[in-house]
Each structure stands twice: as C-alpha cells, then as structure tokens.
Amino acid sequence: MNDRPVTVPMCDKCALSINAIFKYLTKDESDKINFIKDFRSFRKGTILYTEGSRISGFYCINKGIIKVYKTGADGKEQIIRFAKPGDIIAYRSVLSNEPACTTAKALEDCNVCFIPSEILPQLVRSNPDFALELVKLICNELGEANSYITDIAQKTVRERLAEVLLKLYYDFGIDDHKNLRISLTREELANIVGTATESVIRLLSEFKSDNLIELSGRKIMLINIKGLEKLSHFTR
C-alpha cells in the first residue's frame, strides 16, 4: 500500500520551510524525533486512521492534503478540516489518550511523518516554548470551530458555500490556471458545507451564472472575490 520513501525530510529543515510547530524545538529535540519517527507515503484515497480506533502516534504532513472528517449518525461524513504540509493531525487523541474521533484520508498522494504518542507530552514537559505554541495552535483550531458552529447554525447553504470557497482559496491558493488548488468532488464540498450534493451542484451553477466563479469539471476559479465575500458575509 505504501510507497518507498523518496527522501526522508529532516524535521528541523522541514519545520522551518513549511512553518510547522516543530520549529520551536531545540536541535536535540528535533534530532530525537528525526531518529524515532517513521516516514510514510500514502496514495491518494488511503485512510491514515479511522474514527474509534486507538492510535499510537500522530502525523506531521510533509506533502499532500489530508481530509479529516467525522461520520454522522446516518453514515454521512462531515469534513472537519483539511491538513496540509506543516500541519499535525491526530494530536487530539494522542494528548487526551482517547480513541480517534475522526477519520483521516489522503486527498492526494502524500508524505507524512508518523511520530509515536509519547513524544508529544514529553515535548510539552520539556519545552515550554513548544508547549505554549501547541496551546496556541489548538486554541486557534478551537476558535475556528466555534466560528463554524455559528455559521452553520445561522447562515443559509448558499452563504456557507460561498464562504467555503473563499476559505479554500485563502488556505490552499490557486494553481497555474488560477483554479483553486485543492480539488474536491461535489460530494466533498457538500460534506464541508453540511448540505446535499445536489444543492452544491445547483448553487455552484448559480454562482457561475452570477459571474462569481468559473467551472470546468472539478476545477473552480473564483472570479469575483468581493462578490463572494459579500454573499457569504465572510471576512478573514
């Protein structure tokens, strides 16, 4: 299932270049992680871990995008976030010592470092700077989650879809053809917004008629950012 590693990235170099939380580590600490970590490659579509399972470590993304989602009562997936290079995932379960409460799946071929559970609490204990940054990182994610609760509870599907497109734009940027770099199925879009696939399709083509976006297959180009912001009532 996994490919052979190409070149294993060194934590200190990697963290600095992709702005990971590990940049707050000392040389010794990052050497230790380098030694103990497990570099893994996953093909697009592979599941890294599943909701409810016990995991023995957490992941730091080096390349690729991973979607993190929960499965609702009726089996429908709700995408909680996307992780990109520099992000860590599964840290919540590791720190709380609980089974995973989300599933993580590679959206693209990706390279990740798997770091055993015990490292994280050790670092929190041994490196106060790191501890504080970790706390900030989690606080940040919590703040985002709370905003999203408010949005999803109060905004219409149309507003939320516009907002999601903007977030994807700000988080992942665009490719050479000015399309959103992240490529999602309509169903995945629906699973972020919290709506039905058909609704996403209909709204996307409305957005297109309103000259807010261009569509070609799975590619989405935002051509009127201001318009989308106004429609979504979203400000960064």
Partner DNA sequence: CGGTACGTTGAGTCATATCAACCATAGTGG
Partner DNA sequence: CCACTATGGTTGATATGACTCAACGTACCG
Binding site for DNA (CB under 7 A): 156-158, 185-187, 194-199, 201-202, 204-205, 215, 217-218
Cα separation, 213 vs 221, in Å, equals 5
**Type of residue numbered 28:** D
If we measure between CA atoms, which residue out of 118, 122, 115, 123 comes closest to residue 38? 115
Q: Does 146 bind a copy of itself (CB under 8 A)?
A: yes
Closest CB to DNA among residues 116, 194: 194
| Burial (CB count <10 Å: 0-12, 13-18, 19+), residue 14 | buried
Closest CB to a copy of itself among residues 63, 167: 167
Cα distances (Å, whole numbers) of residue 212 to 18, 81, 221, 222: 31, 24, 9, 6
Say which entry of a copy of itself, DNA, none residue 134 contacts (CB below 5 to 8 A, set by partner kind). a copy of itself
Closest CB to DNA among residues 93, 191: 191
Tell the smallest beta-carbon distance from residue 195 to DNA (Å): 4
Give the H/E segment covering residue 116.
Answer: strand 110-116
Which among 134-142, 168-176, 200-208, 217-225 is the span making contact with a copy of itself, rule CB under 8 A? 134-142
Tell the smallest beta-carbon distance from residue 41 to DNA (Å): 18
Say which entry of DNA, a copy of itself, none residue 141 contacts (CB below 5 to 8 A, set by partner kind). a copy of itself
Say which entry of a copy of itself, DNA, none residue 175 contacts (CB below 5 to 8 A, set by partner kind). none
* Interacting residues with a copy of itself between 150 and 169 (CB under 8 A): 150-155, 159
Length of the chain equals 236
Residue pointed to by tokens 């995008």: 65
Q: Does 80 bind a copy of itself (CB under 8 A)?
A: yes
Phi-psi label, residue 233: left if phi above 0, alpha if psi -120 to 50, beta otherwise: left
The answer to whether 16 touches 23, Cβ cutoff 8 Å, is: yes
Say which entry of a copy of itself, DNA, none residue 156 contacts (CB below 5 to 8 A, set by partner kind). DNA
